[in-house]
Structure 1
Amino acid sequence: MQIIEHSIIGTRSAVLRLRRPSSQLQFVLFPMLHVASPEFYAAVAQRLRQCDLLVVEGVSGRSVLTWAITLTYRVIPANRRSGLVVDNIAYRSLGVELISPDVTTAEFAQGWRAMPQRYRLLMWCALPIVVVAQFFGGTRRLLSPEVELNDLPSAKDERYSDDEFAEHFERTFGGDRDDRLLAALSELVRTRSSERIDVGVVYGAGHVPSIVRGLADRHGYRPRTAEWLTVLDA
C-alpha cells in the first residue's frame, strides 16, 4: 500500500481511513512531511476539522538536541526559491479535542544517550553537511523517487536490517515513540469503540507503516479508503 507517492506530476500523500467490523470508531491517518507546500497543510487542516479527536505527533519541550535535529528540515524554507513551508498547522486552534502521546525532550534525550557514543558523534558531524544539502537540494529531494514510502519493507530496509547503527537510530527516533502512540490508540479502541467518531492520527509519514501494522495486528483494523493530497507539484 502506497503512503507517499512520487510521479511526474509531483509528490502526494495518502490519507488512509482504517475500519474494523466490530467498532464504530474509525482511524484517519494523515502521513505528514516536515516541509511541504502551503496548500498541502491547508488541505490537511480542513480535513482535521471534520474529525472528532486528534492524536498528534510532537516532542514536547525544547532542547539544543531537538533544535539541531529539526534544523535539518527547517532550513529548507529558508531558501525562498523552494516555495515550501514548515508544518504551520495550529493544531490546538482547530476546535477539535487533541491528545499528544509523544515523548518529552527529556525522554528523547534519554533515548539519545542510550545510543553508543560513536554513533552520536557521527550524527553530530553529519548534521552540518545535511543542513547545507537540504538548503540547496531539499525541493529536489521532495520531488524524487527517494521520498516514496509504502507499508512493506523496502530493499534498503532489508539491507540495513542487521546494521547496528540503523537499529539504534530506529529505536531512538521511531520505535519507542511508535510503541507509545499505539498504546494510546489501543486505549481509545478499548474505551470508545462504541462511539461513531473519526480519530485523526497526524504523524510523520515514516511512522505510518508501524501504525498500520500495529492497528491490524492488535485490533484488526484495515485500510478501507485512501484520499490523495498533493504535497508538492512538479
Structure 2
Amino acid sequence: MSGPVLELDRVSKSFGAFRAVSKVSVALEKGEILGLIGPNGAGKSTLLNLASGALHPTSGDIRYHGRSIAGAHPHALVHRGIARSFQITAIFPRLTVVENVRIALMARRGLCRDFLRPAGKMLKTEIATLLERVRMSDRAERYAGELAAGDRKRLEFAIALAGDPSVVLLDEPTAGMSGAERAVVVEVIMDLNAREGVSLLFTEHDIDMVFAIAQRIVVLHQGEKIADGAPTEVRASPRVQEVYLGEAANA
C-alpha cells in the first residue's frame, strides 16, 4: 500500500437540523478492502453517498488521489475511477446480461451516439472479459430480470467495472442472498481485490462476512466514528461491543 487513494477528511452531512454524519475521517488505502459497519442509522450509507458524489458534504473535504472531489457529481467520479454498487441493483431487467454490460461500456467510452454501428457487434471481447471476471460467462444471454439475487449483484459488479475503476464502493453487496450466492459474491470481491488491485469500501450487515474479508474496519455510531483498525482490534473494542457487536450477535 502506497498511501490513501480515497480520503474523507472530517466530513459532515446535515439534513436540516439532523446531522447524519459528523466530522468523520476515513482513508481508503490503495489495494485495501475496508469494511464500514454500525447500527441502523449510524450513517454508513450517507458516507458512501458522500464518497460517490450522490451527496455533497455540508463541511469537510473528500480527496481522490490527493485532489479534492467534494461537490463533484457521480458521473464525473465514475469517469475518474470511482464506481458504486447499490444495495438495490441498478440494471435493465428487460435486457440480457450482455446488453447491460454493452450499454455500460458504450456509455463509458462515449459510443452511445454511434448509431451507424450495430450495437450487437460492439465490444465483444471487452464484454466477455468483464463477464469472466464476475463469473457470469454462462449467463450472458439471460435476461437480467430473471436472474437470482447473487447473479444480479455480480452483473452490477460487471457494469461498475466497465469504467475500469481503481475504487469500488459497495452498499450491502450480499443483502438478500442465500448462503451459496453470498459465497460466490464474496469470492468475486476477493478476486477483484487480489488480482485486479481494486480498492474496496463496503457496508454490510453480515458481521461474519465483514470480519472474514475486511483488512480494516471502521465503525460508525450516531454519525460519528468510534473505531478504526484491524478486525481483531475492532472486535476487542469495549465501545464497539457496547454499541454494536453485542446487538449484532443477538440480532
- TM-score, normalised relative to structure 1: 0.29
Q: RCO greater where, 1 or 2, for CA within 8 Å and sep 6 or more? A: 1
- TM-score, normalised relative to structure 2: 0.28
Q: Which has the higher helix share?
A: 1
